[in-house]
Amino acid sequence: MTQSDSASTLLSLRRSIFLISMPFFILGLLLPIYGKEIGASVVEIGLFFSAFSLMTVILRPLVGWGLDRFGRRNFFLAGAAGYAVTMVGFAFIDQVWGIVLARVLQGISSSFLWLSVSAITADAAGEHERGVAFGGIAQASSQGSIVGVFIGFTLLNARISINGQETHLGSWMLLFLVYGALSLAAFFLAMRRLPETKPAAVEGEAAPIRWSRTWILLLLVTLVTGASAAMLSPILIVFLQEKLQAGVEALSWAFLPQGLVWALLPAQLGKLADRFGRKAMMLVGLGAAAVSSFVIPWLGSLAAFAALWAFEAVCYAAGDPAEQALVADLTGRNQRGRAYGLYVMFADLGATLGPLGGAWLYQAFGAAMPFYVNGVILGICALVLLAFLKIPGRQSSAA
């Protein structure tokens, strides 16, 4: 693949991801609140998140094998179409188990789409540009999420006069029908512009992934940190509502600085991983997240929360592209589908267990306990990586 072809491929990929990502932030914000409105308990809200993750855990290894065997493009297209169907499903749901089933379908779509995104990015980017390429994908997704928030709240507050009477059109149904149309637009864009990037087979590279000490350690840390961070997903919004008495729109503004960080900085911060090494950036992200988790229960205002969350986002935006690039660094080019399948499977296995654990800690030991436990676990993982993560050769620096 020429440099021009690589740039065109990554641009098409980012544009499709921009459209698909528009519902992501507002869905994460509204799902716990909507669950409460239809009578879901905190544990059932946790199930909304775990149902999604469980499907990804089951499917990631199979999809990874399929990416190496059959190529990337068709899996991406299937995932984009699945997201469109999922959004239409959300438009008509008003039952707890309906949301669970929609999240199952979303998990299936996610398995197809995001693994193919990782493999395509690793295929198209040169080994010295992987950090910035993965940062660019994260940036496009965040930009789409921010635009999606403004679209969402515009629709939720839209009114029209029918026969002289003002009718409220801002509903769950209208909101997600629009998001479904945007996901469908991403599907057609990718069908037209996104090429197949699967590398030609190279002798010896079709063999199973070698289970090196570094690779095993990366997977285990991914599992533990995924579970720990996911503990906060079902309870963070509820915690902020109860502690600070904040409404949905106020909460959305509090999360905006974090969104802006992810929308503007990951590609630039990814260059640091390409220049200074994957390990250093991963440690920065984990260390900052650990400290932030301890501080959150003591915050007294949404402004303080917004500032802290933005700081953590800067550190994560430096660490995540480095970690994703490291997966490609450690595996052969004809093993990338399987490698990312395993990597994301371990992350999703943690994300499946984490929300239920966080909800249990919240109910059994108080609202602050999940944040403290998360901080301890992330801090320990950072120390483990510092002591034991040995990246061979030049991959430790500008890989």
Q: 167: which strand partners?
A: 160
- % pLDDT > 70, the chain: 91
Q: Which amino acid is at 239?
A: F
* Mean pLDDT (whole number) for 205-219: 76
For residues 293 and 377, give the distance between their C-alpha atoms in angstroms, rounded to a whole number.
Answer: 10
Q: Average pLDDT, stretch 81-86?
A: 94
Query: What is the phi-psi region of residue 349: left when phi exceeds 0, alpha when psi lies from -120 to 50, beta otherwise?
Result: alpha
What pLDDT is recorded for position 119?
Answer: 92
Question: CB within 8 A of 279, min separation 6: which ones?
Answer: 322, 385, 389, 391, 396
pTM above 0.75, yes or no: yes
Half-sphere exposure of 334 (CA within 13 A, CB side): 12
State the average pLDDT over residues 275-300: 86
Task: Please check whether residue 278 is in contact with residue 399, taking contact to mean a CB–CB distance below 8 angstroms.
Answer: yes
Q: Give the model's pLDDT for residue 121.
A: 93
- Using alpha carbons, list the distances in angstroms from residue 239 to 130, 358, 371: 37, 12, 11
Half-sphere exposure of residue 145, counting CA atoms within 13 Å on the CB side?
23
* Sign of the alpha-carbon torsion through 202, 110, 139, 257: negative
Strands 165-168 and 159-162: antiparallel
Residue 211: burial class (beta carbons within 10 Å; 0-12, 13-18, 19+) = exposed
Rounded to the nearest 5 degrees, what angle is found at the Cα of 261, between the Cα atoms of 310 and 152? Answer: 95
- Computed over every residue of the chain, the mean pLDDT equals 83
Query: Which residues in 40-93 belong to E strands, given as ranges?
Result: none
Region 342-351: mean pLDDT is 84
Q: Is the pLDDT of residue 201 over 70?
A: no
Q: Which residue has the higher pLDDT, 170 or 74?
A: 74
Return the percent helix, strand and coil in the chain, to nearest 5.
80, 0, 20
Q: Which of 35-39, 93-97, 99-103, 323-327 has the lowest mean pLDDT?
A: 35-39
**Residue entry with tokens 């399948």:** 341
CATH class of 3-196+209-396: mainly alpha
Contact 24, 145 (CB under 8 A): yes
Q: What is the pLDDT of residue 392?
A: 61
Least confident of 195-209, 250-264, 278-292, 322-336: 195-209
Angle at 116 between CA 343 and CA 348, to 5 degrees: 35
Which of 176-190, 256-270, 381-395 has the lowest average pLDDT? 381-395
- For the stretch 125-137, what's the b/e string if a residue is b when 16 or more beta carbons lie within 10 angstroms of its beta carbon? beeebbbbbbbbb
76 in Cβ contact with 120 (< 8 Å): yes
* Stated length of the chain: 399
Tell me, what amino acid is at 279?
A: K
In single-letter form, the type of residue at position 124 comes to A
Structure tokens at 53: 């993750």
| For range 94-104, the mean pLDDT | 85
> Is residue 213's pLDDT more than 80?
yes
Band (169; pLDDT cuts 50, 70, 90): very low
Q: Is the pLDDT of residue 170 over 60?
A: no
Cα 135 to the chain's mean position, in Å? 12
**pLDDT band (50, 70, 90) for residue 73:** very high
pLDDT at 209 over 80: no
Q: Which 3-state string (H, E, C) describes 364-382?
A: HHCCCHHHHHHHHHHHHHH
Q: For 196, phi and psi rounded to 5 degrees? A: -75, 135
Phi, psi of 160 (to 5 degrees): -145, 150
pLDDT digits (tens, 9 = 90+) for 222-280: 999 888 888 887 778 778 877 777 776 677 778 788 888 888 888 888 887 777 778 88
237 or 85, which is more confident = 85
């999703």: which residue's tokens?
A: 348
Q: Does residue 202 carry a pLDDT above 60?
A: no
Report whether pLDDT(308) > 50: yes
Between the alpha carbon of residue 2 and those of residues 134, 267, 348, the distances in Å are 19, 21, 34
Burial class (CB in 10 A: 0-12, 13-18, 19+), 247: exposed
Interval 209-213 mean pLDDT: 76
- For the chain, the structural domain boundaries read 3-196+209-396
